[in-house]
Amino acid sequence: MANVTAAMVKQLREMTDSPMMECKKALVEADGDIEKAVDVLRKMGVAKAVKRAGRDTNEGTIATHISEDGKVGAILELTCETDFVGTNPKFTDFAAELAKVVAQNDPADVEALKACAMGDATVADELTEMIHVIGENMKIARFRRVSVEDGALSSYVHLGGKLADLAWFSLTKAETAQSDAFKVFAHDVAMQVAAAAPVAARREDVPAETVEHEKSIYMAQAAESGKPAFIQEKMAVGKLEKFYKEIVLTEQEFIKDSSMTIADYAAKVGKELGDTVKVEGFVRFAFGE
């Protein structure tokens, strides 16, 4: 009987996208012949993923996970073939579990994530198993992990997983993160990110080229007025201020109460809790972007 090596198992796994133990069994049965082992897997019904690997995955979901202490979060997009599967609880729960693996392991990329442990197997094994069970091709499209030292995160998932985000905040008191007032505020801000689609959390985070591009347009518009140069400058600056209020999260009007901005809301909650609460950043995924 041929000696089945780890390298052979790895090669068969890469060829068929099948679970490691099944690959080993197939190689033993095929006496070490890779091509025969592929046939063994196909007969076992395990190598179905080979045929599915080329199918388009234009549906799916976005999932988030935040650690119990609120300091580590992850957001992940998992794709599939049909909307029916994309809303299947088995599929969406799997996406949430993948987001948890990202939060706990901080993988560098999708391949590194696939190599992470998930239960008694790896993410790659579990993904292949899910493909077999559900009967559709699936892919991990992208993910992002965020961690904070002196602060907390919040998340919001909208449109049945087609839009989701993470928002993070800085605090000076650890107990603030556990307060109801902060939790409501953090959830509201995460909801604002989903609904209002800001470009940056703070004015200083807006890319310089974006600001210059907008200002050049406003200056050109002001020049059409025929007014003196210093008036044109004021007109352009005025429009730029309006632009900031539209795209900067902290300067946007709060969607639930237009009498205050998100920065005002943060100050209000901070005062109530005797803390300094600041919005530091966010990451927003719209499915298929």
**Partners of 17 in beta bridges:** none
Domain residue spans of the chain: 6-52, 54-147, 207-247
What is the percentage of the chain residues whose pLDDT exceeds 70?
95
Strand partners, 53: none
Local confidence band at 49 (pLDDT 50, 70, 90 cut-offs): low
Maximum C-alpha span of the chain: 91
Could you tell me where the beta strands, DSSP code E, fall in 113-209? 117-118, 121-122, 139-147, 151-158, 163-170
Do 20 and 9 contact (CB within 8 A), yes or no?
Answer: yes
Q: What is the pLDDT of residue 36?
A: 87
Mean pLDDT of the chain: 91
- Tens digit of each residue's pLDDT (9 = 90 or more) over 243-274: 999 999 999 999 999 999 999 999 999 999 99
Using an 8 Å Cβ cutoff, are 77 and 161 in contact? Answer: no
For the chain, state the CA radius of gyration: 25
Mean pLDDT of 4-25: 84
**In the structure encoding, which two tokens stand for residue 114, read together?**
């696939």
Least confident of 49-53, 214-218, 219-223: 49-53
Which CA distances in Å does 120 have to 3, 35, 114, 156?
25, 28, 14, 30
- Taking residue 31's Cβ as centre, other Cβ atoms within 10 Å add up to 11
39-63 residues labelled b (16+ CB within 10 A) or e (exposed): ebbbeeebbbbeebeeeebebbbbb
Confidence check: pLDDT of 159 > 80: yes
Lowest mean pLDDT segment, chosen from 62-71, 183-192, 214-223, 240-249: 214-223
Residue 98 CB neighbour total at 10 angstroms: 26
SS3 274: coil
Domain 54-147 fold is: Tetrahydropterin Synthase; Chain A (3.30.479)
User: What's the pLDDT at 38?
Assistant: 82
Q: Write the single-letter amino acid at 243.
A: F
| Residue matched to tokens 């979060």 | 73
CATH 3.30.360.10 describes domain 207-247: no
Give the pLDDT band of residue 46 (cuts 50, 70, 90).
Answer: low
In sign, the C-alpha dihedral spanning 243, 249, 251, 252 is: positive
Q: Is the pLDDT of residue 57 over 80?
A: no
Nearest to 168 by CA among 257, 245, 67, 241: 67
User: What integer pLDDT is reported at residue 18 of this predicted model?
Assistant: 79
CATH architecture of 6-52: Orthogonal Bundle (1.10)
- Residue 56, pLDDT > 80, answer no
Per-residue pLDDT tens for 161-211?
999 999 999 999 999 999 999 999 999 999 999 999 999 999 999 999 999
Q: Are strands 117-118 and 121-122 parallel, antiparallel or unpaired?
A: antiparallel
